[in-house]
């Protein structure tokens, strides 16, 4: 099993006719064959990709004509929040926004709308998600993942890839890999995804990769302490970051003592999470604990 996406997912790509959207839509379609069309206003009736997928003027039309339940967004930042809300209003159940640089004010409005509608948003500014051998929604390289039993949640795209590689080398593999994004405002946090993995019969363990800044990892640790029955592993990036300076992601800035890497690692361990000191240790640590 998996969470959020599988072989039955039906994906549309908002911005499919742009260079980035076209490239990654092709990769996603070649991986799982799940892409059923795209949306570019004003280009309805055209086709996209070598597969000749239909292009629609709106998400509403795309969902009505294709039965899509997932939307992958490659829309420029000034229009991306509206694209997210359009997908939610059309009844798309899972929205994955890759776009970076969306204004925080726009995302506050979009995330509130998505929650009100009852859809789920992954991102923005994220690599998306991947269920090995079933579906790829985003920009993760499909060749790094292998089917297995570890659910991966990460703020860092690069570390997601590294963790997946190490898990594959250790013979464990992944049930689903999810890059949640590193912006201050995102659609789905670690605690929500831990709960989904906890309920998935074929996920035997969870890995969460966090970073400095914010309280998300603290809240996730509290979820583990209070609810998790499966083993949870973690890593926090940014141990050498100076306070008050943003490092990489817009959300990666330490504004309080409990938001440093060392402080978060301490809380994670206190709540029962097995924490790696270095990203190079992630695969071996999980393999050792799972036997």
Q: Which segments within the chain are labelled E, that is strand?
A: 11-14, 35-39, 47-48, 53-56, 70-73, 94-97, 120-122, 128-131, 135-138, 147-154, 174-179, 205-211, 232-237, 274-275
Catalytic residue (choose from 24, 29, 219, 249) = 249
Residue 171: C-alpha distances to residues 260, 276, 286 (Å): 32, 19, 11
CA dist 27 and 66 (Å) reads 20
CA dist 105 and 82 (Å) reads 12
CB burial of residue 291 (10 Å; 0-12, 13-18, 19+): exposed
CA dist 101 and 96 (Å) reads 15
The strand pair at 274-275 and 120-122 is best described as: unpaired
- The question of whether 249 is a catalytic residue gets the answer yes
Among all residues, which ones are annotated catalytic?
249
């Amino acid at each position: 099993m998996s969470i959020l996406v599988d072989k039955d997912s039906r994906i549309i790509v908002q911005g499919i006719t742009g260079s980035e959207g076209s490239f990654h839509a092709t990769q996603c379609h070649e991986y799982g064959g799940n892409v059923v069309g795209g949306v570019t206003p004003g280009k309805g009736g055209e086709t996209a990709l070598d597969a000749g997928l239909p292009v629609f003027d709106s998400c509403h039309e795309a969902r009505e004509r294709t039965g899509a339940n997932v939307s992958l967004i490659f829309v420029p930042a000034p229009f991306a929040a509206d694209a997210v809300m359009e997908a939610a209003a059309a009844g798309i159940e899972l929205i994955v926004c890759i776009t970076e640089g969306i204004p925080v004010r726009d995302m506050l409005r979009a995330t509130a709308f998505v929650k009100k509608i009852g859809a789920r948003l992954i991102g923005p500014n994220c690599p998306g998600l991947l269920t090995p051998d079933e579906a790829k929604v985003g920009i993760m390289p499909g060749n790094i993942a292998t089917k297995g039993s570890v659910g991966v949640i990460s703020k860092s795209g690069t570390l997601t890839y590294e963790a997946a590689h190490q898990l594959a080398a250790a013979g464990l593999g992944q049930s689903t890999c999810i890059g949640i994004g590193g912006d201050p405002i995102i659609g789905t946090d670690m605690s929500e995804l831990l709960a989904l993995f906890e309920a998935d019969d074929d996920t035997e363990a969870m890995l969460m990769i966090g970073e400095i800044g914010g309280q998300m990892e603290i809240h996730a640790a509290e979820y583990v302490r209070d609810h998790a029955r499966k083993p949870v592993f973690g890593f926090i990036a940014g141990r050498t970051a100076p306070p008050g300076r943003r490092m990489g992601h817009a959300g990666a800035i330490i504004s309080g003592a409990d938001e440093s890497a060392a402080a978060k690692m301490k809380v994670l361990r206190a709540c029962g999470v097995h924490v790696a000191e270095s990203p190079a240790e992630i695969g071996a640590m999980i393999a050792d604990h799972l036997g």
